[in-house]
């Protein structure tokens, strides 16, 4: 673009509608950050600087969660291809995090950088590093594109703060395939062994080990039609009716089939070797465009006691279709934001189907800095509220007798032209970012949808709005929509709307947070 710098695009109240934002040298990025408005999220986890992508499953160690994530300290000089290490943040409540720096460094062996995997606490010292050692299994690719993706081991004897590589040979070599990555390991106490699930293109492979260092393939779960499977997940959970189910999850791209590009999952049974799904087709833990590389992890109380009926979950608020498109590069010198941590429970529908329901982590309530209670509001058309804000939560129950659609206009511009729409229309719930600045230059991925039964004539919405994201929880959280959005900073209005009738927005509450 001639005659206008990227600084001008982002300065003040504008984020710019450019579709491709290129990394800049650190010094230039620092100068821009000082001159530009702030787009760093107010209450979502963000990387301190440079780049982050995949979350790694947090583990409970010494009374706090250790959250590792893929971090590229050379992003501004080398882009996403410069490679990742594992950075660590710790938290006791999963809202406020303390940065602990790089835990698993990159490029310390000939195998290069460190990709996704998992950390486990080796309580009994099965790997030979001592009781309570923290062991990381992660993918590395010594020669790019040459079928060399394999699984390598790092270990920690200081409570998961720093890690040492266990030699330069893989603990699980590549059998000669292109996609062979993202190990997720759980402990099978009943059978006295470790179980690994591994992403292998259209298959999730299952492996056994006694010591985390030698693995045996025992079978696989195949699913076509939702792209290359990544970041697999496997866990046991107790439903609200007392039934125990196993859940197998993957990050997958179903956009080509009209499905989400997030976390697909199956409920079913697992006998230690084979996973048997309840249904052939997956359900999805998020229906938005930007909840990728997600992980679930154990919920424990302050004493470490496990909650068998609840998991936590966190996802990367980005998409590999546009990973470098964000105003935070120029405004704040970083690229990497996560979703809010969710509490995930298993519920049984009236049809007999089991599904995962999500809600924001309960500890978020402890950080409320301001509450605006608007009560019940009757709306016919568009009603602009007397409220302005960039980062907040808004919740309400919408009820009606006869209606085509209803919802909220989030981050609405002063003239009403720009906004993000969230609500229901006919037989679906939706989140539409088309009329605000957003990362999708193609224009194809603007409105996300999930099923809705209009005969209920009511819907409960809880929507988390931050500077570059919206997460909408519908009714009991069976359906969630998470998407990146980049509204101008002057776009701070909020409106309610109906289409084809009148509705009452009951118990309308806005909450702001201070982290």
Question: Which residue numbers are catalytic?
Answer: 54
Alpha-carbon gap, residue 449 to 471, rounded angstroms: 13
* Separation CA 73–CA 84 (nearest Å): 8
How many angstroms separate the CA atoms of 420 and 430, rounded? 10
**H or E element in which residue 8 lies:** helix 6-10
Q: How far apart are CA 249 and CA 33, in angstroms?
A: 38
Torsion angle of the four alpha carbons 354, 360, 363, 364, in this order, in degrees rounded to the nearest 10: -170
Whether the CB-CB separation of 418 and 488 falls below 8 Å is answered with: yes
**CA–CA separation, 415 and 382 (whole Å):** 13
CB-based burial, 223-260: b 16+ in 10 Å, e otherwise: beebbebbbbbbbebebeeeeebbbbbbbbbbbeeebb
Joined together, the tokens standing for residue 315 give 């996802």
Strands 334-335 and 50-55: parallel
End-to-end CA distance of the chain: give it in Å, rounded.
38
Q: Where are the beta strands (DSSP E) in 189-305?
A: 193-200, 203-209, 216-222, 230-238, 244-251, 263-270, 275-277, 283-284, 292-300
Q: What is the DSSP letter of 340?
A: P
Instruction: Give dist(CA 328, CA 467) in Å, integer.
Output: 10
DSSP string over 9-43:
HHSTT-----S------HHHHHHHHHHS---S-SS
């Amino acid at each position: 673009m001639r005659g206008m710098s990227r600084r001008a695009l982002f300065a003040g109240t504008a984020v710019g509608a450019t579709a491709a934002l290129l990394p800049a040298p650190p010094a230039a990025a620092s100068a821009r950050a000082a001159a530009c408005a702030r787009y760093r999220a107010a209450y979502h986890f963000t990387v301190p600087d440079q780049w982050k992508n995949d979350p790694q499953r947090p583990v409970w160690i010494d009374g706090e969660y250790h959250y590792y994530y893929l971090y590229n300290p050379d992003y501004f000089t080398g882009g996403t291809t410069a490679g990742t290490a594992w950075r660590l943040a710790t938290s006791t409540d999963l809202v406020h995090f303390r940065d602990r720096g790089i835990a698993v460094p990159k490029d310390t062996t000939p195998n290069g950088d460190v990709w996704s995997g998992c950390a486990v606490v080796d309580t009994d010292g099965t790997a030979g590093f001592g009781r309570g050692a923290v062991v990381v299994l992660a993918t590395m690719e010594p020669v790019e594109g040459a079928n060399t993706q394999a699984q390598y081991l790092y270990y920690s004897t200081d409570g998961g703060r720093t890690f040492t590589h266990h030699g330069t040979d893989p603990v699980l070599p590549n059998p000669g395939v292109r996609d062979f990555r993202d190990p997720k390991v759980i402990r099978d106490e009943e059978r006295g062994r470790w179980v690994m699930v591994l992403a292998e293109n259209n298959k999730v492979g299952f492996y056994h080990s006694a010591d985390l260092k030698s693995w045996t393939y025992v079978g696989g779960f195949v699913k076509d039609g939702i792209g290359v499977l990544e970041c697999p997940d496997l866990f046991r959970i107790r439903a609200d009716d007392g039934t125990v189910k196993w859940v197998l999850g993957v990050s997958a791209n179903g956009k080509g089939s009209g499905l989400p590009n997030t976390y697909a999952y199956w409920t079913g049974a697992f006998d230690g070797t084979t996973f048997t799904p309840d249904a052939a087709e997956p359900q999805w833990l998020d229906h938005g465009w930007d909840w990728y590389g997600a992980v679930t992890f154990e919920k424990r109380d302050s004493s470490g006691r496990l909650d068998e009926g609840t998991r936590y979950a966190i996802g990367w608020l980005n998409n590999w279709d546009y990973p470098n498109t964000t105003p935070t590069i120029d405004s704040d010198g970083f690229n990497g934001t996560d979703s809010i941590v969710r509490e995930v429970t298993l519920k049984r529908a009236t049809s007999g189907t089991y599904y995962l329901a999500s809600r924001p982590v309960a500890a978020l309530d402890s950080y409320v800095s301001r509450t605006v209670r608007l009560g019940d509001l009757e709306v016919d058309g568009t009603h602009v509220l007397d409220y302005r804000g960039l980062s907040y939560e808004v919740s309400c129950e919408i009820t009606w007798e006869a209606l085509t659609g209803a919802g909220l206009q989030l981050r609405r511009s002063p003239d009403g032209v720009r906004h993000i729409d969230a609500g229901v229309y006919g037989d679906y719930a939706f989140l539409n970012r088309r009329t605000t600045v957003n990362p999708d230059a193609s224009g194809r991925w603007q409105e996300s949808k999930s099923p809705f039964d209009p005969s209920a004539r009511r819907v409960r919405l809880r929507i988390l709005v931050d500077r570059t994201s919206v997460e909408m929880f519908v009714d009991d959280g069976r359906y969630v929509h998470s998407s990146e959005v980049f509204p101008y900073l002057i776009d701070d209005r909020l409106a309610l709307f109906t289409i084809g009738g009148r509705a009452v927005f009951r118990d309308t509450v806005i909450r702001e947070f201070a982290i």
